[in-house]
Amino acid sequence: MVSLVNFSQFVNQSNLAKVVVADDDQSAVELLREAFERSSFSCELDAVFSGQQLLDYLRKDHAKDNERPSLILLDLNMPGKDGRQTLSEIKADPSLRDIPIIVMTSSELEEDIEKSYQSGVNAYLKKPSVFADLVKMTSAIKEFWFGCATLPHHPLT
């Protein structure tokens, strides 16, 4: 039997949710950081700039101190190991697959959407082109993932 807990319990010791953004565009990361602040989403926001950096972050940097992220926001279109490959690797790793991942990308290609869901993404969002819409989106992410969602307490096998 899998025990369920409210997602708000997936926070770090400072009682802040830890959100990791993986996007090669530093200006997009800064806009997202500002949108989180404007939407009153108090969280610890970390950024990595490639798929490989995200995997390193998850496997090495935070495995030892047990501070896994509460949520990953993943861009698909990054040089090197892109978001598609990174998503597949995370979802194939039993120690990481239960971390919720939202693809947040500019791609509206049906193939990208379908493959992302087939690979286990929890949600697929198109990056808004207007900052006010980005603020609304971060508010919706906060409300759903940290207010409404209930997820398994332990990694799924």
Averaged pLDDT for residues 34-56:
93
Alpha-carbon Rg for the chain in angstroms: 15
The one-letter amino acid code at 77 reads N
Domain boundaries, the chain: 17-147
| pLDDT for 32 beyond 90 | yes
Cα–Cα distances (Å) from 142 to 24, 41, 98, 137, in that order, read 23, 6, 18, 9
Is residue 43 very low, low, confident or very high in pLDDT (cuts 50, 70, 90)? confident
- CA–CA dist 17, 81 (Å, integer): 26
| pLDDT for 15 beyond 70 | no
Tens of pLDDT along 71-90?
A: 999 999 999 999 999 999 99
Distance of CA 89 to the CA centre of its chain: 14
> In CATH terms, is domain 17-147 a member of 1.10.3210.10?
no
Q: What is the mean pLDDT of the chain?
A: 86
- CA–CA dist 32, 136 (Å, integer): 11
Higher pLDDT, 14 or 133: 133
* pLDDT for res 112: 97
